[in-house]
Copies of this chain bind each other. A is one copy, B any other.
Amino acid sequence: MIETDKELIKNIVMKGKRLDKRAFDEYRKIAIESGVISSAEGSARVRIGDTEVVAGVKMDIGEPYPDSKDAGVLTVNAEFLPLASEEFESGPPREDSIELARVVDRAIRESKCIDFKKLCIEEGKKVWMVFVDISVIDHDGNLIDAAGLASVQALASARMPKLIKNKDSYEVDYENRSKEKLPMSGIPVSTTFVKIGGQIMADPLLSEELAMDARLTVGTFDSNGKIRFCSMQKGGNGGFTEDEIAAILDMAEEKGEELRKLIKKG
């Protein structure tokens, strides 16, 4: 992206507008489909405008961490597929794909929306491992929110595989998934805002991300009808004042509620 494009974006914003004519607090059209991957225990495809992400949940038996022997294990991984952007190359994960996975992971983990104690099979020995894998398929900005929605929808729609207990070992029967859902309560979502020329706006386009001063992602979830915050991540080579952050928290609360309504439970 050349400097003049950044200037163009800024100029549009100065006039109180956005490149695609949205309001500053308006998300693009969001489409969520679940159950798109039959090989996964749960899955979802999310489109936010031209951004497209698929998330799949796989489960397996594994060993607990030594410091939480009675809890299942969550692993979130993101792959920025090389077909999603000419900027993405094959090779080791980019730092932004690591960040994305870790921000999505924290929103899920910190909200305590999954009761990992219920995913313990035998204390200290065997627990369920829950893998959330995110494939970024087309990139037009705001990957974190898309990945967050896809992950939560994949988890919400997942069905546990059957557990077979042998004499002294366990096995997973993937052919016959049970009807049992993951022990889940509350829906954590990430909402992302960028600042361009002093103006805060939601759901940035890729071109807006390239022109932004800074980015703030805020994770919220619903807990018995109340909204709680569970994660934050500032991005980009700039910063925010306390007042700007307060304004973003307000928007995050509102937009989080909107996004949560798009998730179909079970």
Task: State in angstroms the CA–CA spacing of A66 and B60 once bound together.
Answer: 13
Taking CB atoms and an 8 Å cut-off, the chain A residues in 158-209 that contact chain B are 169, 171
Task: State in angstroms the CA–CA spacing of A124 and B169 once bound together.
Answer: 10
Copies of this chain, count: 3
- A66 cross-chain contacts in B, Cβ below 8 A: 171
Task: State in angstroms the CA–CA spacing of A47 and B66 once bound together.
Answer: 37
Taking CB atoms and an 8 Å cut-off, the chain A residues in 110-166 that contact chain B are 124
- Min C-beta distance of A167 to chain B, whole Å: 10
Taking CB atoms and an 8 Å cut-off, the chain A residues in 89-127 that contact chain B are 124
Task: State in angstroms the CA–CA spacing of A171 and B69 once bound together.
Answer: 12
User: A172's closest neighbor in chain B, by CB?
Assistant: B66
- A169 cross-chain contacts in B, Cβ below 8 A: 124
Task: State in angstroms the CA–CA spacing of A171 and B124 once bound together.
Answer: 12
Task: State in angstroms the CA–CA spacing of A102 and B44 once bound together.
Answer: 35
- Min C-beta distance of A90 to chain B, whole Å: 13
Proximity bits, A51-83, B CB within 8 Å = 1, else 0: 000000000000000100000000000000000
- Min C-beta distance of A67 to chain B, whole Å: 10
User: A124's closest neighbor in chain B, by CB?
Assistant: B169
Task: State in angstroms the CA–CA spacing of A169 and B66 once bound together.
Answer: 12
Can you report 2 A-B residue pairs in the complex whose CB atoms are below 8 A from each other? A66-B171, A124-B169
